[in-house]
């Protein structure tokens, strides 16, 4: 067990996600509750290197639970990947008398924390914050539920115009290498087909399915595609290919892009962030380190950071079957 | 095991909830997928008595996944509680050659289904659809997640004006005898206090807490109250009591009311409704009856209707602790 | 003409309205554009008395254009209605070297500005900010368009449940003594009847209309009522009266309340606030005082504060006719 | 004056826009009010050629006022541009005993109506429905206000992530050859720069402005670009150019696309559509033809279809100045 924790540093790192502010608020308020100090570190590891710190008390985080983005800002730091960078960061952490770190982000963020711990023994706890839901050790990452709602609201709008004009839309959503957003938002939005990295549908089956869908009386269709889907074509090439080979619909493409990262967090994400924020502080106070907090079967659980980074959060194959049945 | 299922009837009954249409759609499409017929029964058990039926095919449920309310309408039927009423209903079911029933609703709906099964052996499967989340055998009922988002969006708006005017707001939310909505939406909205039937805070502690909150520098506050909370006072009496005894805030009341039942369902509710809808049909096809489908630890599960009705879905006490810490 | 303006004070006063922050931002940025200083006065006239001031530069108002409420907070000040209160306020204004005032609010706010000008010759310009739209000299007040959208979104939700259960809902909206919100949101939400202070429908005609509506095949109905409507009954009494005398619908009441004042402003309100904010500063710089800026026929116009306060913004009677035709 | 009108046909044509359903509802209900028949023509002029008609009564348009898209669907018809196509269409109109037409759409729709009138003397009235607001003879087209709100809500989300990461975003919005959406949504979203076809900013001034903005302390920026802006570069080329030449921000692009056409209409658009729908029927009943209804200075007005098509709706140059001041 390490020394007694009297001051905790909290940061957000990597891609931002809705609910990060709710997590920051929870960390800060839990520190206040246990009468320990809390320091915000701006711009993730880069702010650690630049000693870009701010003292946070319970009132500093008023009225942020409902805001998208992160008041602590985020970045990816190349300098922190160097030994010199990390040494500078440690110097600043030591000078600021920070005894433990709470790292809100994804794989890259957690890896940074582990390396830093190995070198300087600063205890750290990770909170999974990313819209992609691609982290092992939690059923849900903070921001994912909000992103799903953002995506279906946009597809609902696209469907208005798709069905008014009998069009076929290809909608590209985020997800890095994981189909969580595409599969869940696809089912939620009533998409006819969903292309995810975890399952290679193949162009022929896609065409066949769209033809069947047309025959069955559907006048418009939505296909949801994960960015960087492994089908070997960009969403625009895919759309062209389908338009040429199907010749039954006008085809249009919509790339949703960064709007998926923003917006006021859903209730689910705010509650999740609050629960994980409380637990993360309590783990540090209990002398723990190198753990990620997560939600497994509706309970707050912990996973070794190492496992969280190396493991793979598998997609729910049952949902693929549901999607197939729904698109009849 | 009963006879082979060739035609399924589906109804919504009791209070409506967002996502009921998504569940209807899933039932109808799954029937189409398995090449069995599907009949919509209007206005719940009353429509069964009135033979108010409609044939539904895969295309009948286009573009309803995103709509609030229920296209099959809902009601509470006094007549179905009589033997004569149920006999009439059975006559109609028999004439329509309906072999199994899918009942979307809550406790009352499921009880009706069990009584009907006992008398006439028409197999039935229940799908939990209610915003209150007060059903045993599922972590989430359909409509609950949407209602939470509706509530926090409204409280976010109320907080705008509360903090502009340094006011204290009492916000009454739905929940029948359960604090799920109040507790989760309260944490999500950053409420200072949350009054739920499961925990008697007491007026003195409420006052004490609000005083402490004021001392700690909060200029405005939100208190979320479950309708019919057992504190023994209406939300208006409560507000008056606090205003007189606290004399530090202008106090206002907002009763959210029926808007909580409406609106386009969240992605979570649409996906949940789709999964439960598929499973409910498959259970009937497998010869099952008197089961409720639900989501337990992210998996689709079944519970005896009898247990679902008699059991009590317990609130998460950890969240009460989170709420206390957050309101520091 | 007064002395050269080098420092402007800006405040929000009276009931808050969405878009007030966009107006503050526009005032602050316009000051920066013209290289003059800008001071925010907290809590309206009370903050003037308490010397509760804050220096605002162009960056102070980053990321507030989309926020409801007012960062300067608002209040109603009894003390400012006394000669002593105003004398204190003037002392503070003089000490802070504020040469002109921009007052964002409604009638009461403008009256205060005129009295203050008469006594101390501090030039002032009014910006109409209130959701009620009851100000003479502008077609639209800041916040009104947003409130309309808030109201119809809620009524859309209520209609989901109303039509699922064949119910009649009475929905009470804000408006002080003016029916702008009720009439426009009522038409926008497709209400069957709209009760506004400007037109006494009478209980008999209301009943007659609802009966006709039921006969015509409508299964559910919405009646929008302005708070304090002169029909001589509260919305609850009204609902009871109709339920007893109509006996065709279950009747429910929803009082929308303060949520109507909050929320992120609509594009219309943000643009309106930006235009009026720019103009208000330019008028002060031009040596003007005692004017209200407004939007008349899509152009920024000015009205004497005195006329703005004494005049009456008349409701559009054509819209009542449209409403009657639509509810056939 | 033509013969007495006993049956009116209504259609939507060209790009769909939110509020078209509200306009259809208003036309149908006004017909019912005046006891004349109403026929819906599906898919615009193509449906006229295909005799794709549907009888509409007051109840047919229940619960559509809040829906995006158009229940009558829309299309662009090449066949109607031929004499043969129009002759077929006339045959169908005559057989269906339709005495007058109400055309909801834009320039192309109105031109079709005029040609048809010249050949067959079927009276027609145009209702401006397009998100682009590029129609002469009305201050607002139906759908424009909703599109503005859609755009600013998305940009608010993008700003969350932009400011979390100190990025510069180029956001492309719709508008055909007109900058209405870009200019108004740009001001509403607090964009730093707005590129519209009506004003050639030039790349140098854009760079200069963004540099100044960075120097002034802004850490993130949004540039709104009209699709097909005449700056001679696609939004992606523009972004690359700026990234290379500015080297102060990470630059990202977001193309909003078709989502701008969908969604539930704003209150403004629903009220506008209702007012124009009523007037359009009354004009036909008064024996008028070849007029477009519109909203000018808050009053319902009429313009010759010929003028509406040939005229140019000029953008408000004052707003460009407001935008410049705001981006200081």
d(CA C284, CA C291): 10
Closest CA to B197 of B231, B172, B174: B231
Q: What is the DSSP letter of D310?
A: H
Query: Residues near C10 by Cβ (< 8 Å), separated by ≥ 6?
Result: C24, C27, C28, C38, C39, C40, C41, C56, C72, C101, C102, C104
pLDDT of residue D231: 64
What is the per-residue pLDDT across A233-243, written as a single tens digit (0 to 9) for each?
Answer: 789 999 999 99
The pLDDT confidence band at residue D215, using thresholds 50, 70 and 90, is confident
Low-confidence winner among A159-163, A213-217, A279-283, D138-142 (lowest mean pLDDT)? A213-217
CA distance, residue A56 to nearest chain B CA (Å): 14
- Residue B254 pLDDT exceeds 80: yes
Structure tokens given for A23? 């997590």
Q: Which two tokens stand for residue B168?
A: 């204290």
Judge: C66–D151 Cβ closer than 8 Å, yes or no. Answer: no
CA distances, A176 to each of A78, A81, A131, A179 (Å): 20, 22, 10, 8
Q: Which residues of A touch B59 (CB under 8 A)?
A: 216-218
- Report the residue of D262, D264, D266 to disrupt the A interface, i.e. the one with the largest count of A CBs within 10 Å: D262
**Rounded to whole angstroms, what are the CA distances from D315 to A28, C302, D199?**
49, 22, 10
Whether residue B317 is contained in a domain is answered as no
Write out pLDDT tens, residues A112-147.
999 999 999 999 999 999 999 999 999 999 999 999
Residue C228 has φ and ψ, to the nearest 5°, of: 65, 25
What is the spatial distance between Cα D148 and Cα C39, in angstroms, rounded to a whole number?
Answer: 32
Nearest to D293 by CA among D274, D276, D269: D276
Question: For this structure, is C16 an active site residue?
Answer: no
Grouping H, G, I as helix, E, B as strand and the rest as coil, residue B57 is coil
Provide mean pLDDT across the span D187-196. Answer: 95
Which residues of A participate in catalysis according to the annotation?
A: 132
> Binding site annotation covers D212?
no
Angstrom distance (rounded) from CA A266 to CA A250: 35
Which of C163, C164, C262 is closest, CB to CB, to B161?
Answer: C262
Among residues C245, C232, C258, C250, which one has the least CA distance to residue C170? Answer: C250
Contacts of C184 in chain D (CB under 8 A): 267, 271
Contacts of B258 in chain C (CB under 8 A): 157-158, 161-162, 169, 252, 254
CB contact under 8 A, C268 and D218: no
* C216 band by pLDDT with thresholds 50, 70 and 90: confident
DSSP A175-218: -TT--HHHHHHHHHHT-SEEEBTTB---HHHHHHHHHHHHHTT-
Chain B from 104 to 133: CB within 8 A of any A CB: none
> Same domain, yes or no, for A76 and A120?
yes
| Cα(C27)–Cα(D326) distance, integer angstroms | 9
Region B268-276: what's the mean pLDDT?
98
Residue A306 structure tokens: 């190492």
Report helix angle C267-285 to C144-165, nearest 10. Answer: 160
pLDDT at A229: 61
Of B261, B292, B318, the residue that ends a domain is B261
pLDDT of D1 > 60? The answer is: no
pLDDT at position B230 is 62
Q: Where are the alpha helices (DSSP H) in chain B?
A: 20-33, 44-49, 83-95, 107-120, 144-165, 180-189, 203-215, 235-246, 267-285, 305-310, 317-326
Q: How confident is the model at residue C204 (pLDDT cuts 50, 70, 90)?
A: confident
CB neighbours of B167 closer than 8 A, spacing ≥ 6?
Answer: B161, B220, B249, B250, B251, B252
What tokens does B269 get?
Answer: 């509710």
B126 and B22 assigned to the same domain = yes
- CB-neighbour burial class of residue D312 (10 A; exposed 0-12, middle 13-18, buried 19+): exposed
* Three-state DSSP class for residue A280: helix
Within D86-205, strands assigned E span 100-105, 124-128, 167-173, 193-195
What's the pLDDT score for residue C166? 87
Nearest CA in chain B to A215: B59
Is residue D250 less than 8 Å (CB to CB) from chain A? no
Residues spanned by the domain of A41: 7-143+265-310
Task: Note whether D187 and D225 are same-domain residues.
Answer: yes
Domain shared by B257 and B277, yes or no? no
Give the residue from B224, B70, B61, B64 showing the smallest Cα distance to B143: B70
Q: What's the whole-number mean pLDDT along residues C45-60?
A: 97
Of the partner residues D63, D163, D267, the one whose CB lies closest to the CB of residue C152:
D267
* Domain annotation covers residue A325: no
Is it the case that residue A1 has pLDDT exceeding 70? Answer: no
The mean pLDDT of D139-143, rounded to a whole number, is 98
- The CA radius of gyration of chain B, in Å to the nearest whole number, is 22
Collapsing DSSP to helix, strand or coil, D317 comes out as helix
pLDDT band at B69 (very low <50, low <70, confident <90, very high): very high
pLDDT for C289 equals 98
Q: Let me know whether D14 and D138 are in one domain.
A: yes
A302 domain-assigned: yes
Which residues from chain C sit within 8 angstroms of residue B68, using beta carbons?
Answer: 157, 160-161
**Using one digit for the tens of pLDDT, what is the confidence trace for A99-111?**
999 999 999 999 9
D256-311, pLDDT tens digit by residue? 999 999 999 999 999 999 999 999 999 999 999 999 999 999 999 999 999 999 99
pLDDT at D230 (0 to 100): 61
Q: Which residues contact C160 (CB under 8 A, 6 or more apart)?
A: B16, B18, B67, B68, B69, B261, B262, B263
Could you tell me the pLDDT band of residue B177, with boundaries at 50, 70 and 90?
Answer: confident
DSSP 3-state of A314: coil
Q: How many domains does chain C have?
A: 2
| Closest CA–CA distance from residue D80 to any residue of chain C (Å) | 33
CB-based contact A265:A104 (threshold 8 Å): no
| Tokens read off for D77 | 């018809």
CA–CA separation, A251 and A239 (whole Å): 6
Secondary structure letter of residue D97 according to DSSP: T
Spatial distance between the Cα atoms of D44 and D54, rounded to a whole number of angstroms: 13
Active site residues of D: 132
Distance, C-alpha B113 to centroid of its chain: 18
C298 found inside a domain: yes
Instruction: Let me know: does A124 contact A233? Beta carbons within 8 Å.
Output: no
CATH number for the domain that contains residue C96: 3.40.50.450
pLDDT band for C217, please (50, 70, 90 cuts).
confident
Q: Return d(Cα A217, Cα A196) in angstroms, integer.
A: 26
Residue A273 has pLDDT above 90, yes or no: yes
Chain centre to alpha carbon of residue D34: 29
- Reported as a pLDDT band with limits 50, 70 and 90, residue D229 is low
Cβ neighbours of D164 in A, within 8 Å? 12, 16, 69-70, 73-74
Q: Does A159 touch chain B (CB under 8 A)?
A: yes
D298 vs C316: CB contact, 8 Å cut-off? yes
Together in a domain, B269 and B134? yes
Residue A306, pLDDT score? 98
Q: Is the pLDDT of residue B217 over 90?
A: no
Q: Which of A188, A212, A279, A313 is the best substitution to test chain B (most B C-beta atoms within 10 A)?
A: A188
Both tokens of B300, joined, read: 């689709």
What was the ipTM of the complex prediction? 0.96
Same domain, C181 and C276: no
Classify each residue of A35-64 as buried b or exposed e, where b means 16 or more C-beta atoms within 10 Å of its C-beta: ebbbbbbbbbbbbbbbebbeebebebbebb
What's the rounded mean pLDDT across residues C87-116?
98
With bands split at pLDDT 50, 70 and 90, how would you rate the model's confidence at D318?
very high
- pLDDT tens-place string over residues C176-196: 889 999 999 999 999 999 999
Residue of A273, A304, A286, A299 whose CA lies nearest to A129: A273
C-alpha span between C122 and A142 (Å, rounded): 52
In a domain, B327, yes or no: no
Q: Model-level pTM?
A: 0.97
Mean pLDDT of chain D: 95
Q: D25 a known binding residue? A: yes
Pair B167, B115 in one domain: no
Rounded CA separation D17/D258 (Å): 10
Which positions ≥6 away from B283 have C-beta within 8 Å? Answer: B125, B291, B293, B302
Q: Are D325 and C29 in contact (CB under 8 A)?
A: yes
One domain, residues D132 and D169: no
Domain boundary among C230, C261, C292: C261
Q: Quote the mean pLDDT of chain B.
A: 95
Q: Does residue B200 surpass a pLDDT of 90? A: no
CB-CB neighbors (< 8 A) of A315 in chain B: none
Identify the CATH number of the domain in which residue A149 sits: 3.40.50.460
Answer yes or no: are the C-beta atoms of D326 and C274 closer than 8 Å: yes
Whether residues D111 and D20 share a domain: the answer is: yes
Q: Does D21 touch chain A (CB under 8 A)?
A: no
Q: For residue B151, what is the nearest residue in chain A, using CA coordinates?
A: A267
Torsion of CA A238, A243, A248, A250, to 10 degrees: 100
Size of interface A-B (CB pairs under 8 A): 146
Neighbours of chain C (3+ CB pairs under 8 A): B, D
CA distance B213 to C309: 39
- Name the residue with higher pLDDT: C296 or C2: C296
Nearest to B58 among A58, A152, A328 (CB): A328
What is the mean pLDDT of the segment spanning A239-250? 88
Instruction: Say yes or no for a CB contact (<8 Å) between D254 and A254.
Output: no
pLDDT at residue C231, as a whole number: 64
Claim to verify: residue B211 and residue B276 sit in the same structural domain:
no
Is the pLDDT assigned to residue D38 strictly greater than 80?
Answer: yes
Residue pair C255/C225 in contact (Cβ under 8 Å)? The answer is no
Q: Taking 80 as the threshold, does the pLDDT of residue C232 lie above it?
A: no
A302: three-class secondary structure by DSSP: strand
Which position among C132, C145, C229, C269 bears the catalytic label?
C132
Please tell me the predicted confidence (pLDDT) of residue B228: 77
Maximum alpha-carbon separation in chain D: 70
Shared domain for B102 and B162, answered yes or no, is no
Residue with tokens 């759609």: B25
Whether C164 and chain D come into contact, CB under 8 Å, resolves to: no
Structural domain contains residue C161: yes
- pLDDT bracket for residue C249 (50, 70, 90): confident
Q: Is pLDDT of C105 > 70?
A: yes
Counts for chain D of helices (H) and strands (E), in that order: 11, 11
């Amino acid at each position: 067990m390490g020394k007694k924790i009297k001051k905790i540093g909290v940061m957000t790192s990597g891609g931002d996600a809705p609910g990060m502010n709710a997590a920051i608020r929870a960390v800060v308020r839990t520190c206040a509750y246990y009468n320990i100090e809390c320091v915000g570190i701006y711009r993730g590891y880069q702010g650690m290197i630049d000693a870009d710190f701010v003292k946070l008390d319970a009132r500093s985080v008023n009225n942020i639970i409902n805001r998208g983005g992160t008041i602590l800002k985020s970045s990816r730091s190349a300098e922190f990947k160097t030994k010199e960078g990390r040494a500078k960061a440690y110097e600043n952490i030591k000078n600021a008398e920070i005894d433990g770190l709470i790292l809100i982000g994804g794989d890259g963020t957690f890896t940074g924390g582990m390396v830093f711990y190995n070198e300087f023994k600063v205890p750290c706890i990770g909170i999974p914050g990313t819209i992609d839901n691609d982290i092992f050790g939690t059923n849900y990452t903070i921001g994912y539920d909000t992103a799903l709602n953002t995506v279906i609201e946009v597809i609902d709008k696209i469907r208005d115009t798709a069905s008014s004009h009998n069009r076929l839309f290809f909608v590209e959503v985020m997800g890095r290498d994981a189909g969580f957003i595409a599969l869940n938002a696809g089912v939620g939005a009533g998409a006819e087909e969903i292309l995810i990295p975890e399952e290679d549908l193949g162009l022929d089956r896609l065409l066949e399915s769209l033809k069947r869908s047309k025959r069955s009386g559907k006048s418009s269709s939505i296909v949801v595609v994960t960015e960087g889907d492994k089908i070997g074509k960009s969403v625009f090439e895919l759309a062209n290919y389908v338009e040429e080979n199907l010749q039954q619909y006008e085809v249009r493409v919509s790339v949703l892009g960064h709007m998926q990262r923003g917006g006021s967090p859903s209730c689910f994400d705010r509650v999740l962030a609050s629960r994980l924020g409380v637990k993360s502080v309590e783990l540090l106070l209990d002398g723990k380190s190198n753990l990620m907090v997560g939600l497994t079967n509706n309970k707050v659980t912990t996973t070794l950071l190492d496992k969280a980074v190396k493991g793979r959060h598998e997609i729910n194959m049952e949902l693929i079957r549901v999607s197939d049945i729904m698109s009849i």
